[in-house]
Copies of this chain bind each other. A is one copy, B any other.
Amino acid sequence: MREAYHLELGQLATKLAGMCSKVAEAMELATRALLEANLSIAEQVISGDEAIDDARSECEEQAYALLALQAPVATDLRTVLAVIHAAESLERMGDLALHVAKVARRRHPAPVLPEQVQGYFAEMGRIAVALARKAEEVIHSRDVAAARAIEDADDEMDDLHRHLFTVIMNKEWEHGVASAVDVTLLGRFYERYADHAVSVAKRVVFVVTGRMPGSLTGDDL
């Protein structure tokens, strides 16, 4: 039973890595669509979301089958449940990339972002994608030290997000209310994406090591 369990768990982890890769790509493209006001890239993200939802269903079904057939207990049980939770967070990350793409599409051909904040979103996009790729990497490498880097990256995201608000709230903001509303929601989407990535990383570390890193928390996990 242990051998079958480990084999199936390995397959599940591979599926999870595939989801990490998919949501990283979705956010990378969504950020490009946003910064370049590129409609066809936005459409690509929007139509690609279904594949992420499907991947989540597959992960969940496979995890259910593993629970039903192997009836794991103790750490093995928690490991399978960690996969289910991680898959859920990854689906949510895909949704958030989708939201970004939809904002880009809604305003097309106008650019959503005033030039003044484009740099923030380029950077938040870069960090978001790096977080998802790091989680994927940890699954393959089992290098838990790499997971630590995720904490720092999330702190950077929180700093950027806070600073973005000071820019919007500043009396010199001259791009109007509608633009401030878009920037506010977009900032929130990136920040939540990063929070979920931290949660995924935590669970991935648990799946590959059997130990939960206590300090890898998002703002409201």
Give the interface of A toward B (CB within 8 A). Answer: 64, 67-68, 71, 73-74, 77-78, 81, 84-85, 88, 92, 95, 98-99, 165, 168-169, 173, 176-178, 180-181, 184-185, 188, 220
How many copies the complex holds: the figure is 2
| Nearest CB in chain B to that of A180: its residue | B177
Main secondary structure of the interface of A (DSSP, over half): helix
Instruction: A98 to B81: give the CA distance in the assembly, Å.
Output: 27
Interface contacts beyond A81-B84, A98-B220, A188-B188: sample of 14 additional A-B pairs, CB < 8 Å, sorted by A: A67-B67, A68-B73, A85-B88, A95-B220, A168-B177, A168-B178, A168-B181, A169-B181, A180-B180, A180-B181, A180-B184, A181-B181, A181-B184, A184-B184
Inter-subunit contact B169/A177 (CB<8 Å): yes
Inter-subunit contact A74/B81 (CB<8 Å): no
Instruction: A77 to B184: give the CA distance in the assembly, Å.
Output: 41
Closest 3 CB pairs of A and B: A71-B71, A95-B220, A68-B73
Min CB gap A56→B, angstroms: 11
Q: What chain B residues lie within 8 Å of A169 (beta carbons)? A: 177-178, 181
Min CB gap A50→B, angstroms: 13
Q: What chain B residues lie within 8 Å of A92 (beta carbons)? A: 220
Q: What chain B residues lie within 8 Å of A77 (beta carbons)? A: 64, 67-68
Q: What chain B residues lie within 8 Å of A73 (beta carbons)? A: 68
Interface centre among A177, A181, A220, by most chain B C-beta atoms within 10 angstroms, is A177
**CB-contact partner of A177 in B64, B67, B95, B173, under 8 A:** B173
